[in-house]
Amino acid sequence: MKEKINIAIDGPAGAGKSTVAKLVARKLGYVYIDTGAMYRTLTYKAIKSGVDLHDNGSLNQLLSKAKIELTPEGKVFMGSEEVTELIRTDEVTNSVSFVASQSDVRFEMLTRQQEMAKQGGTVMDGRDIGTAVLPNAEVKIFLSATVEERAKRRYEENLAKGYPSDFEQLKQEIALRDKRDSERETAPLKKADDAIEIDTTNLSIDEVVVAILRIVEERS
Ligand code: CDP
Ligand code: CDP
């Protein structure tokens, strides 16, 4: 049997990370780890508890008491509370990059994520997986796409869920989150030097999955 490796997938919002990472994991029989869901869960808890989203110490204290569980079916739990849908609201989406810029929070998240990947066999997606969490991952992918295309994808996603959104506003929100994620001091969104970049602007989901599986095949 082939040795189980770790695959790191990073990139900005709407580049297709979670969709593609899930499919790659399924194809390989690997575990998909959505690190964004972990930051979203802490953000949800901070909003609910009235904790200042810029207060590194209080957020870290909150995190130290929070058990965050990602199930193989894609559900997210905070302790016994299921938060799968609650962490996807616009309020959480537009606040999460403040929480994610706090250094102590990032250190604790990184420790938990490294523990999850220590046996190999994971496809982990986020912003700093190839650069900070799994610098020795055997395969590192950086997915990109124009902000126009990424906003279009989110727009269509919202429409499919039954609510139309303002395209220009979506574009602005995505650009702002990219800026905050790329400019923060600790582990900013950045392509690792040894990551392979795939521009998905004109690619289908299947084309991206096939491209990644080919890279995995070559490396393992
Ligand atoms: O799916 P989407 O691209 O909207 O975002 P996500 O992957 O759920 O991540 C939400 C936010 O969490 C990002 O905008 C980052 O601020 C933060 N994040 C991070 O800082 N580091 C990670 N490894 C994953 C997410
Ligand atoms: O996780 P991330 O924010 O990077 O993106 P996502 O949530 O996986 O993908 C955003 C949307 O783009 C989803 O509705 C995907 O179906 C769609 N998508 C696409 O249309 N073409 C691709 N090549 C990748 C994703």
* Mutation probe of ligand 1 site: the residue of 127, 140, 149, 190 with most atoms within 8 A of C-beta: 127
> pTM for this one?
0.97
Domain count along the chain: 1
Q: In the predicted model, what is the mean pLDDT of residues 39-59? A: 97
Q: Does residue 161 lie within any of the structural domains?
A: yes
Q: Does residue 83 lie within any of the structural domains?
A: yes
| 11 CB neighbour count, 10 Å cutoff | 27
Distance 10 CA to ligand 2 centre (A): 13
Q: Does residue 1 lie within any of the structural domains?
A: no
Q: Does residue 53 lie within any of the structural domains?
A: yes
Pick the closest to residue 29 from 139, 118, 122 (CA basis): 122
For residue 49, pLDDT over 70 is answered with: yes
Percentage of the chain modeled with pLDDT above 70: 100
Reported as a pLDDT band with limits 50, 70 and 90, residue 220 is confident
CB 216 within 8 A of CB 139: yes
| 74 CB neighbour count, 10 Å cutoff | 12
Q: Does residue 186 lie within any of the structural domains?
A: yes
Reported as a pLDDT band with limits 50, 70 and 90, residue 125 is very high
Reported as a pLDDT band with limits 50, 70 and 90, residue 1 is low
ipTM: 0.97
Provide the CATH number for the domain around residue 44: 3.40.50.300
185-197 pLDDT, tens digit per residue, is 999 999 999 999 9
85-121 pLDDT, tens digit per residue, is 999 999 999 999 999 999 999 999 999 999 999 999 9
Atom 9 of ligand 2 has which residue's CA nearest to it?
16
Distance 152 CA to ligand 2 centre (A): 10
More confident: 2 or 178? 178
Q: Does residue 220 lie within any of the structural domains?
A: no
The answer, yes or no, to whether any atom of ligand 2 lies below 6 A from the CB of 17, is yes
Q: Does residue 23 lie within any of the structural domains?
A: yes
Q: Which ligand is in closest contact with the Cα of 160? A: 2
Segments forming the whole domain that contains residue 190: 6-215
Atom 23 of ligand 1 has which residue's CA nearest to it?
126
Atom 22 of ligand 2 has which residue's CA nearest to it?
205
Positive or negative CA dihedral for 92, 94, 100, 101? negative
5-32 pLDDT, tens digit per residue, is 999 999 999 999 999 999 999 999 999 9
Atom 20 of ligand 2 has which residue's CA nearest to it?
153
154-181 pLDDT, tens digit per residue, is 999 999 999 889 999 999 999 999 999 9
The answer, yes or no, to whether any atom of ligand 1 lies below 6 A from the CB of 101, is no
Token pair belonging to 158: 């919202």
The 3-class secondary structure across 9-66, one letter per residue, is: EECCCCCCHHHHHHHHHHHHCCEEEEHHHHHHHHHHHHHHHCCCCCCHHHHHHHHHCC
Measured from the Cα of 97, ligand 1's closest atom is: 16
Q: Does residue 49 lie within any of the structural domains?
A: yes
For residue 2, pLDDT over 80 is answered with: no
